[in-house]
Structure 1
């Protein structure tokens, strides 16, 4: 029984990481109608930057702050110089451009950090386990769940209770009208893109001590993010959260029940949701 409880809690931790990745992808598509195939590569870059920051400073907490901010800034530069030029083009061209960016980032990571995987140790204060009766669980994984939950709450507040969030939601409905009302939409697009990608970089930092880092994880992360978005519904914060938790728990529990089919089952869950609700659990037509 403790084994399955362990896997469920593991799944919640994975699900919160998947949420951080997919909510950024969902926000970007919801506002910009832009398909970002480089999202997984930014996750990868965030993980590697955290590895470098920890290697230089020996301080994981500093890496947790620096790496996502660097990724967000890099995403802002990419959006201002390249991405904004293909907003008006069909999705096929957006996919080609962002896929090219993803390949460039991947090859740069291999050139700088090498093809061999890296690992990061959790901070000393979070090493060890917490005992709750006969149930033992790693402290760092509990921290990931709690920290990601706080970030989720902050993102919800930003999108639901602030003027910026109102503009993002209005822009996802009719960007032209928002522009006519006096909002600098290009600046709004840049900030939104940086925010979404920064959250993916943050997920990479949080996941690095758990899953390690290797230069070919980008496509895998991107695939899971799309599954979460499809299950939860495009452009939905709640959908990204519920979809991430569902995928994380299914993947974690199935790794015990049927290890060979753990990845297969998340796609089966996606197919089931599509059959019942083609626009996702919380999506709109």
Structure 2
């Protein structure tokens, strides 16, 4: 039983790291643009399917996880520059409807291009099999995923904390009107933020393919979880999104041991408890 618990803890941590990437991307967009990006899940799915396609064309999964997220960035930049930007002065409902429509369009494009039937993707040969950690034998790909996502998250944290551009993004999250008054180009900041959020969503989708497989509705599956992460973390809190993503992943992993049917329900239980106990989220201030 101990080995099972340890294994599920690691499974939950690996899944939580994917959630963290998606949650951080949504947090940045929601914190700065003040727009709930309903197309975020679709970008995650596009990243996964592009990974599958690039891996087949190049024969390399490693090349795929580098190129595929860039494809989602391109889509994200087009959505912001040619769509959302034209609606900033309009009522908030128009922005929401536009993003919701784009999510449906992207999902249907997945069905048209790749078909309605889901399929699985094998990890690269070097990461197949399992690794003996001493206390548990664990899939090598999941271990590599944990290490890689930790590197990405640490790099992102350093970028947001110690660079001028990161400081601008953090200022936009705290008070975008004041950032504008101080001479920061809001349009460029919005474009950069949406592109960064799209890249994180696409990267999460790329890394998740060997674990979760591919289905046309995978974007709709991840989207509510992403919003739960934002609620639990607190609006605009990047560290909170990381912690919340990991907590939700671990909660799912442990729930699977004793009550598999409730593995998805526990996500919303955590959200409900957070709203009751701390409405501003674990790390939020507003």
Bin for the TM-score computed over the shorter chain? over 0.9
Cα RMSD after superposing both structures: 1.1
Determine the C-alpha separation between the residues in 1 that align with 2:79 and 2:267: 32
SS, match of residue 137 in structure 1:
strand
Give the TM-score, by structure 1 length.
0.97
Aligned length in residues: 285
**CA deviation vs aligned residue, 1:39-75 (integer Å, no higher than 9, x gap):** 0000000000000001111100000100011111221
Match of 2:108 in 1: 107
Equivalent residue runs for 1:1-285 within 5 Å: 1-285=2-286
Q: CA deviation at 1:91?
A: 3.4
Q: CA deviation at 1:174?
A: 2.9
Structure 2 unaligned regions, length at least 5:
none
Q: Is the 8 A contact 1:51 1:119 kept in 2?
A: no
Q: CA deviation at 1:118?
A: 2.2
Instruction: List structure 1 runs of 4+ shifted beyond 6 angstroms.
Output: none
Q: CA deviation at 1:134?
A: 4.9
**CA deviation vs aligned residue, 1:136-185 (integer Å, no higher than 9, x gap):** 00000001111110000111111111111111121223323323333221
Q: CA deviation at 1:88?
A: 3.4
Give the TM-score, by structure 2 length.
0.97
Structure 1 unaligned regions, length at least 5:
none
SS, match of residue 131 in structure 2:
strand
Q: CA deviation at 1:246?
A: 0.7
Q: CA deviation at 1:267?
A: 0.6
**CA deviation vs aligned residue, 1:116-137 (integer Å, no higher than 9, x gap):** 1122111111111001225100
Determine the C-alpha separation between the residues in 1 that align with 2:245 and 2:26: 12
SS, match of residue 263 in structure 2:
helix
Determine the C-alpha separation between the residues in 1 that align with 2:88 and 2:223: 20
- Structure 2 vs 1, CA of residues 143 and 84 (structure 1 numbering), >3 Å: closer, same or farther? same
Determine the C-alpha separation between the residues in 2 that align with 1:20 and 1:98: 20
**CA deviation vs aligned residue, 1:228-284 (integer Å, no higher than 9, x gap):** 111111110111011001100011111121011111111111111111100100011
